[in-house]
Amino acid sequence: EKGTYPHFMLKEIDEQPLALRRIIQEYQDEHDHLKLDQNIRETMKVCDRIYIIAAGTSYHAGLVGKQFLEKMAGIPAEVHVASEFSYNMPLLSDNPLFVFISQSGETADSRSVLVKIKEMGHPALTITNVAGSTLSREADYTLHLHAGPEIAVASTKAYTAQIAVLAILAVDTARAKGLELDFDPMRELGITANAMEVLTDQKEAIDELVRDNLGTTRNAFFIGRSTDYFVCLEAALKLKEISYIQAEGFAGGELKHGTIALIEEGTPVIALATQETVNYSIRSNVSEVVARGANDMIFSMKGLEQDTDAFVLPEVHELLTPLVSVVPMQLLAYYAALHRGCDVDKPRNLAKSVTVE
């Protein structure tokens, strides 16, 4: 039930800190060790490459997860859009593990890949919010998101839960392999849950940014580099899906290869700057678009901020920044849709679970 909330989406955005804390609880045993099915641990240890298969928002979570698996667990990983996988099937490694990420566990595009790779005899792990869903039943192993039911068509808390569970999986694997890690996942996720709460309390500030900058615009760009780029893809999808503003997420350095031609006087360009390594270069991309008339809004992380930034995010571990930077992006989409009188929870032409290919 929505309770006092006008929309499920807003309620689900607000539930994110709680969902994250639930994940911490569910994946930690009484000795503060990570709690994961031993079979999953063994499978992760022996696989030589991970193929992540997902669609939409879950695909965007996969892009972030790939980095965890490579940087923390030392396993090469690739991320595939489910509906494209069969046409361009990569050469598989000797011991592949397929990881399906799906809020609903019912996405037909992902299921058809699952059926195919099971026929080929490969192991599959599904990360889903719905226990007993098709993708969960048909895979060898399941990791639950524990995000609670997600009703709004626009996925919010499932995305952050997916990223959190992928981080836990990567750390667990690293530990099982005896790799040195300077990262305490439960501590960092706890700090992140608090930071998310700070952000969900700042709705008015985001609403004001929307009123001032996205009121009548026909299009908008989200730019970022490195991890921020992946969040930009998600931010653009969210905005398109519910407000019908044409939006694109772009890698900052790629703009000059064509897309910058679209920047006109007043075009909104939202930039994420949460990573120290790219703080300088993304800001120079912002100057390039501002020089062509763009209306910029920089969302930076505390410690990297400058006076002219539109919004400063509370600081979290650099690997977990998507969990906080996405929250104001979800709120931007929400208020943009609200002010345009769109049906926030049930956008046109879309279904919550896409059960056709």
Binds ligand M6R (CB under 6 A): choice among 64, 73, 153, 161: 153
Least separation, in Å, of the C-beta of 104 and ligand M6R?
Answer: 3
Cα 205 to Cα 180: distance, rounded to the nearest angstrom:
41
Q: Tell me the window of 41-49, 98-106, 165-173, 213-221 that interacts with ligand M6R (CB under 6 A).
A: 98-106
Query: Most distant CA pair in the chain: distance in Å?
Result: 58
Cα 326 to Cα 285: distance, rounded to the nearest angstrom:
20
Residues 1-60 that bind ligand M6R (CB under 6 A): 55-58
Question: Considering the rule CB under 6 A, would residue 102 count as an interface residue with ligand M6R?
Answer: yes
Residues 298-327 that bind ligand M6R (CB under 6 A): none
Q: Are the C-beta atoms of residues 353 and 161 closer than 8 Å to each other?
A: no
Question: Considering the rule CB under 6 A, would residue 107 count as an interface residue with ligand M6R?
Answer: yes
Question: Nearer to ligand M6R by C-beta: 193 or 235?
Answer: 235
Helix, strand, coil percentages (3-state) for the chain, rounded to 5, are: 50, 15, 35
Least separation, in Å, of the C-beta of 291 and ligand M6R?
Answer: 33
Binds ligand M6R (CB under 6 A): choice among 15, 228, 241, 345: 241
Q: Are the C-beta atoms of residues 135 and 117 closer than 8 Å to each other?
A: no
Pairing of strands 141-144, 124-128: parallel
Sketch the per residue contact string, 324 through 353, with ligand M6R: x for CB under 6 A, - otherwise.
-----------------------------x
Residues 173-232 that bind ligand M6R (CB under 6 A): none
Least separation, in Å, of the C-beta of 56 and ligand M6R?
Answer: 2
Residue 150 backbone dihedrals phi, psi, to 5 degrees: -110, 115
Size of the site for ligand M6R (CB under 6 A): 16
Q: Tell me the window of 101-109, 169-177, 243-251, 332-340 that interacts with ligand M6R (CB under 6 A).
A: 101-109
Element (H, E) at 99: strand 96-102
Question: Nearer to ligand M6R by C-beta: 150 or 172?
Answer: 150
Cα 159 to Cα 137: distance, rounded to the nearest angstrom:
21
Question: Nearer to ligand M6R by C-beta: 100 or 255?
Answer: 100
Question: Considering the rule CB under 6 A, would residue 112 count as an interface residue with ligand M6R?
Answer: no
Annotated active-site residue 35? The verdict is: no
Question: Nearer to ligand M6R by C-beta: 110 or 227?
Answer: 110
Q: Record the tokens describing residue 348, joined without a space.
A: 């046109």
Least separation, in Å, of the C-beta of 337 and ligand M6R?
Answer: 12
Closest-CB residue for ligand M6R? Answer: 56
158 Cβ contact partners less than 8 Å away, ≥ 6 residues apart? 57, 58, 103, 129, 145, 147, 150
Helix and strand numbers (H, E) in the chain are: 13, 10
Binds ligand M6R (CB under 6 A): choice among 142, 155, 243, 325: 155
Residue with tokens 């208020």: 335
Name the 3-class secondary structure at 124. strand
Residue 284 backbone dihedrals phi, psi, to 5 degrees: -70, -30
Cα 268 to Cα 150: distance, rounded to the nearest angstrom:
30
The residues of the shown chain that bind ligand M6R, judged by CB under 6 A, are 55-58, 102-104, 107, 110, 153-155, 237, 241, 353-354
Catalytic residues: 352
